[in-house]
Amino acid sequence: MDGIEAALAECRLYNKPNFTDIANTYGVNRTTLLKRYRGITGSREDGYNS
C-alpha cells in the first residue's frame, strides 16, 4: 500500500478527517488527498486502465 492509499484508509476512519495532519503524516499532497477522498480524481493507474 503506497502513501496515498494508506492516507485514504486513515481518512475513512474519521467522520470529519483532518486532511492536513493526515497528508503530513503520510507525506502526500493535501489537495490530492482531498480530491481522491471526495472522488473528484482517481489515480493515474485508473486513468490508464479505462
Q: pLDDT 10s digit of each residue in the chain, 50 long?
A: 689 999 999 999 999 999 999 999 999 999 999 999 998 877 766 666 76
Q: Given this model, what pLDDT does residue 43 score?
A: 72
Q: Given this model, what pLDDT does residue 44 score?
A: 63
Q: What is the pTM of this model?
A: 0.80
Q: Which grid cell is 47?
A: 486513468
Instruction: Yes or no: say if 20 and 30 are a contact pair by the CB < 8 Å rule.
Output: yes
Q: Given this model, what pLDDT does residue 30 score?
A: 97
The candidate with the shortest Cα–Cα distance to 25, out of 1, 38, 6, 41, is: 6
Phi and psi angles of residue 36, each rounded to the nearest 5 degrees, phi first: -65, -40
